[in-house]
A and B are shown apart, each in its own frame.
Chain A
Amino acid sequence: MKSIIILCFIGIATATLSTDSDKSIETPCPPKNQFGEIAADQCCGNIEDCEIVATSRIVDDNGIGKYDEFIKYTNEYLTRSYEYFFLAAQFGTYAKERPGFEKLLSGLSDSAWNKGIEMIKEITKRGFSHKFILNKETATIMSSANVTELVAIAKAAEIEKSLLVRANDIHRHHSHASLDASHSCGYDAGLSHYIAEEIMEEKTETVRTLTGHANQLKRLFAQDPKLYPLSLFMFDKHLQ
């Protein structure tokens, strides 16, 4: 019984579809003024002319590239990620044999990679595209797999700190404006919040840890260079 009713239904539905002209096909044709600023009548007659612009942007770009610094910053994470990747690689060789240092550096590599991906998603949430633009210094970053333990740590501390400083700068760029400031000034409270909470908070910890390590190694070396190989061995153990 049930199936017959359903069959009937389908029959009626098909009949309606096939007999009706194109006019009854639902078009995105809202009652006038329902969309406010959008000229609704444009979307009726000719679909080709229907110019509904939907964008997540709250900052007018005007072709100035208001988010370019954040985008370059994202690309620096991707670049640094592979820089750390190779820096870590050498500590896993038999000649270096420092699994602790390798773990520390490849951890930095992983988190830079994951953060880079997260930031690509973050910029597209704001209605802008990710582009592969780099600032001058980032564009020339080379892999290097020929440094000592202390240099590697010092280098990592320097990189992480420069990223922290840059985050601070970009935060300032997106978080300073007056009530009447134009929407193209770049003010973006959401992005500022993201930078402070999801980037700077974590980065501050990382910088502190790395500078601590660098200073510790430096003092160990200064106190007795002859004991330094043993110091490094123990230090590496504690990093594992």
Chain B
Amino acid sequence: MNKFGILVAFAVCCFVSVSADTCDLTAKDHFNNVEFVDMKRKCILETEDQIKKEITASLKYLSLAAYFSRDDVNRPGYAKFFFDAASEEREHAKKLIEYLQMRGRYFDLEDSAISNINIGSLVKGSEKAELLSLGSEWMKAPEASKNKEVSAGLNALRTALKMEAVVTGSIRNLIATCEAEQVEGKKNEIFNDYHFADYLTGDFLSEQYQGKRDIAGKISTLGKMIRDNGAELADYLFDKSLQ
């Protein structure tokens, strides 16, 4: 382990001992002041915030999947559904990163939220997913309620719908920011980031609305099954349809 410590120290030294060109981080010198990055600051920072939310959602889904994997819960269908959802949220975070890269953002700037995320505490708080401000009733494991009218599955699907609704709202706010940002230093100039607004609307919002519709359909199907058959049998059967 120490060997790598030395390596790291050695590599850091290269800032000091070698000309800036060798280890440069900004690469600004190569551009002769040609400005090509037009994405605006507030929009960028909010996008980075959105990335954190996507990650939080991925971990929350993971906590649901872990719950349904337990041998005393035994719902492999729900578990699969939520494991897949977790990986999907992670992909959303990746897509936003890739978009920022394409638009000329780089993440080594000091003001980038990307360089300053406490990942450990995000993972630790997977179940609560505090960043999404879901409210206390959605921040725990989806156990079945005592009155037997709400199965664990129904509880979890409602949590998922709630979460997707929060994320949808957050993306809408992001679009609003990015399509009307006041340009720094120019009082009357508003920048409309047409392309990003279009990307968010076409790609992200489409997926949000389709996702919400899918979950909502599942909730009403399951809800009707519970009413007619009781929560345990309904959950058992619905789980089979998800496998």
Residues of A near B118 (CB, < 8 A) are 140-142
Contacts of A34 in B (CB 8 A): none
Main secondary structure of the interface of B (DSSP, over half): helix
Check if B101 sits within 8 Å of A93, measured CB to CB: yes
Confirm or deny: B157 has a beta carbon within 8 angstroms of a beta carbon on chain A. Answer: no
A151 within 8 A of B: yes
Closest CB of chain A to B201's CB: distance in Å? 24
* Chain B nearest Cβ from A57, distance in angstroms: 8
The minimal Cβ–Cβ distance linking B89 to chain A, given in whole angstroms, is: 11
Please tell me if the beta carbons of B69 and A130 are within 8 angstroms of each other in the complex. yes
What CA separation (Å) do A83 and B8 show in the bound complex? 17
**When chains A and B are docked, how far (Å) is the Cα of A218 from the Cα of B13?**
12
Q: Which residue of A lies closest to B6 (CB)?
A: A154
Taking the closest CB of chain A, its distance from the CB of B119, in whole angstroms, is 5
On chain B, the residues within 8 Å of A121 by CB distance are 69
Q: Is chain A's interface secondary structure helix, strand, loop, or mixed overall?
A: helix
Per-position contact with B for A95-106: 1 when CB-CB < 8 Å, else 0? 110000000000
Q: Is A124 an interface residue (CB 8 A)?
A: yes
Are B66 and A120 neighbours in the complex by a CB distance under 8 Å? yes
A79–B120 CB distance below 8 A: yes
Distance in Å from the Cβ of B34 to the closest Cβ of chain A? 12
Within 8 A of A (CB), among B56-105: 59, 62-63, 65-67, 69-72, 83, 86-87, 90, 93-94, 97-98, 101, 104-105
| B65 to chain A: closest residue by CB | A120
Name the residue of chain A whose CB is nearest to the CB of B109: A146
| Chain A residues whose C-beta falls within 8 Å of the C-beta of B59 in the assembled complex | 78
B197 at the interface (CB under 8 A from A): no
Query: Is there an interface contact between A83 and B119, defined as CB atoms closer than 8 Å?
Result: yes
For A225, the chain B residues whose CB sits under 8 A away are 14, 17-18, 22
- From A113, A139, A162, B121 is in contact (CB under 8 Å) with A139
List residues of chain B with CB within 8 A of the CB of A146.
Answer: 25, 107-108, 115
Residue of A whose beta carbon sits closest to that of B4: A158
A117 to B88, CA, bound (A): 13
Asked whether A108 is an interface residue with its Cβ less than 8 Å from the other chain, the reply is no
Q: Are A221 and B94 in contact (CB under 8 A)?
A: no
Question: Size class of B's contact patch?
Answer: 35 or more
A38 CB to closest chain B CB (Å) equals: 16
Interface segment out of the listed B122-130, B161-169, B218-226: B122-130
Q: Is A185 at the interface (CB under 8 A from chain B)?
A: no
List residues of chain B with CB within 8 A of the CB of A229. 21-22
Q: Of B67, B106, B122, which contacts A95 at CB under 8 A? A: B106
- Report the minimum CB–CB distance from B194 to chain A (whole Å): 21
Knowing A124-B71, A154-B11, say if A145 contacts B108 (CB, 8 Å).
yes
B23 at interface by CB-CB < 8 Å: yes
A141 contacts B69, C-beta separation under 8 Å: no
Which chain B residue lies CB-closest to A94?
B104
**Does residue A55 face the partner (Cβ distance < 8 Å to B)?**
yes
List the A side residues contacting B94 at CB < 8 Å: 85
- B11 lies within 8 A of A140 (CB): no
Q: By the criterion CB–CB under 8 Å, are A86 and B117 in contact? A: yes
Contact of B8 among A132, A134, A155 (CB under 8 A): A155
In the complex, the 6 A-B pairs of residues with the closest C-beta atoms, listed nearest first: A93-B106, A145-B107, A130-B66, A146-B108, A124-B69, A158-B4
Supply 10 further A-B pairs (C-beta < 8 A) apart from A79-B120, A85-B97, A154-B11. Answer: A55-B72, A82-B117, A92-B101, A124-B69, A148-B23, A154-B8, A155-B4, A221-B14, A225-B14, A225-B17
Using a CB–CB cutoff of 8 Å, the interface residues on chain B facing chain A are 1, 4-5, 7-8, 10-12, 14, 17-18, 21-23, 25-27, 55, 59, 62-63, 65-67, 69-72, 83, 86-87, 90, 93-94, 97-98, 101, 104-108, 112, 114-127
A-B contact pairs, 17 of them (CB 8 A): A55-B72, A79-B123, A82-B122, A85-B94, A86-B114, A96-B106, A120-B66, A130-B66, A132-B63, A141-B120, A143-B114, A143-B119, A157-B4, A158-B8, A221-B14, A226-B22, A228-B18
Chain A interface residues toward B at CB < 8 A: 54-56, 75, 78-79, 82-83, 85-86, 89-90, 92-96, 113, 117, 120-121, 124-125, 127, 129-130, 132-134, 138-146, 148, 150-151, 154-155, 157-158, 161-162, 214, 218, 221, 225-226, 228-229
